[in-house]
Amino acid sequence: MNNPVHKKKSLYLLSFIEGGVVMSTELVGAKLLAPYFGTSLYVWACVMALTLGGLAGGYFFGGRLSVRKNHETILMASVLCAAIYICCLPMLTFLFVYLASNFSLIPAALISSAFVLFPPVFIMGMVSPLIIKSITSSHEETGKKSGEIYAISTVGGICFTFTTAFYAIPQWGLTITLISNAGLLAIFPAVYLVKRKTFFPILFFFASLFFSFRTIHKDTFTVYLKDGLLGKLEVEDRIYKTDTSNETVRYLLINNIIQSCVDVKTNQSKLKYSEVLEKNIFTINPNAKTALVLGLGGGVISNILAKKNIAVTAVELDARVVEVAKKYFYTSDKVNIIEDDARHALFQLKNKYDLVVIDLFAGEITPSHVLSAESFSKIKSLLNPDGFIFINTYGYLNSKAGKGNQILLNTLQQAGFDYTICYSGDVQYEDYRNLLFFASVKKQPTLYASLPKENISKFETTLISTDNKPSIEFANANAVKRWRFSYLKNFILNKN
């Protein structure tokens, strides 16, 4: 970097890459934490706050260091440290999560985010002030050069955000994406160190690369594993011993939350809520012939309906889920699958249906835009006169975590639906059950697994959820927190 023009161009390029790696690390870091803590409002608040906090601290500290005579050496050392830390993130994430697991969900997510995201972002935050110092020859240029560097860094962030989200994560996964980012950063200090014949720090970087690559593996029970923008998707086969034999159970997991579960030998669902749906279909509508399923999952519900000679149209946003449902859960060829967002698909469909199934858990998150008054009004127009809706949701109703379900039921009523609340799992304990809402315009008969009246208290809210005011999204935050924490303690950490 002895040539001033070449040096300036190199530092501008470094600013572009640094800005890009910051945003890419934020995205990937959130995805690394998602299998343990989910993608709820709480978790994203932790991720965003700590990213901004890291940048603010880095800007401040980098500004202080920029007045030193050896600021260029400090700059390259900072970039190399950031690259090494980013390389180690896949290994460090599980360690930090395990150490934080004794805390409740939000403190655990905050502590893990602090260790996973804050250090590399803090170090990269130091880069811009140090670059500004390196390319500024007079006080008069300071404002101009600062504007240029922060603009270039921001453009890099925009470019890397799109590249990471739409290409790198789906194609390479999280670890390779991190290694690629670290490699881009490490080029600059490597050139700097080679010119000065200092090789030990470079060897340290390659050691971190080696250990990072070793984290890329599938457990012996993992059949399929792929990262994507909507989360980590896995198919696992687990063997459970029974009194008479060993039973192999296949799971479909998104961010470590069970989406489908079947017996490998029979492909029959092991989740009780599908049994409740199956037993109640013809009780509500004996002549049901057509069904719309929003949320394919493993295709279990679609297969149940198809076996009863019901023509099924299923809508699924994630192409990976469609692939997995066909290959590993043997979704019937009779099921017509549409790859689209459920809400968008609703307003494109013209056919009438006897049954609309809403089974939309992306991990533990339910999309509020499909559970709004406007959506239910559209669904109502797609239902035949004897048609009904089936909604699979959290097991909470009377506690603070049940406010979201209360709003959901209020919204159904406001749209003109009568409803019955059924359940699967443990009727007495909200953390260990699902609630199943059957809604129709006509009054319903008595249904199998109806929730006893003594388990239903008077609702504490009269709110409904609309597109303009998606109150259900915020009301469900407590349900999401409890649901995820229950999984973290009872399934996720035990699984690992």
Domain boundaries, the chain: 4-213, 271-495
Q: What does the pLDDT read at residue 175?
A: 87
Using DSSP's 3-state secondary structure scheme, residue 192 falls into helix
- The one-character DSSP state at 398 is S
pTM of the model: 0.79
List the pLDDT tens digit at each of the 496 positions of the chain.
Answer: 556 667 889 999 999 999 999 999 999 988 888 777 776 777 778 888 998 999 999 999 999 999 898 889 999 999 999 999 999 888 888 777 777 767 776 787 888 888 889 999 999 999 999 999 999 877 778 889 999 999 999 999 999 999 998 889 888 888 889 999 999 999 999 998 888 888 778 887 888 877 777 666 566 788 998 887 677 899 999 888 776 778 899 999 888 788 999 999 999 999 999 999 999 999 999 999 999 999 999 999 999 999 999 999 999 999 999 999 999 999 999 999 999 999 999 999 999 999 999 998 765 677 888 999 999 999 999 999 999 999 999 999 988 889 999 999 999 999 999 999 999 999 998 988 999 999 999 988 999 999 988 888 889 899 999 999 988 878 887 787 777 777 766 666 565 5
Q: What does the pLDDT read at residue 379?
A: 97
Which CATH superfamily does the domain covering 271-495 fall into?
Answer: Vaccinia Virus protein VP39 (3.40.50.150)
Q: What does the pLDDT read at residue 315?
A: 97
Instruction: Give yes or no for a contact between 50 and 134, defined as CB atoms under 8 angstroms apart.
Output: no
Q: What does the pLDDT read at residue 138?
A: 79
Q: What does the pLDDT read at residue 214?
A: 67
| Spatial distance between the Cα atoms of 320 and 43, rounded to a whole number of angstroms | 24
SS3 content of the chain, % helix, strand, coil (to 5): 55, 15, 25
Neighbouring-strand partners of residue 437: 391, 421
| Spatial distance between the Cα atoms of 374 and 382, rounded to a whole number of angstroms | 13
| Alpha-carbon separation of residue 430 from 78, 276, 396, 455 (angstroms) | 49, 17, 5, 10
Under CATH, which number does the domain 4-213 receive? Answer: 1.20.1250.20
Q: What is the 3-state secondary structure (H, E, C) of 132-186?
A: HHHHCCCHHHHHHHHHHHHHHHHHHHHHHHHHHHHHHHHHHHHHHHHHHHHHHHH
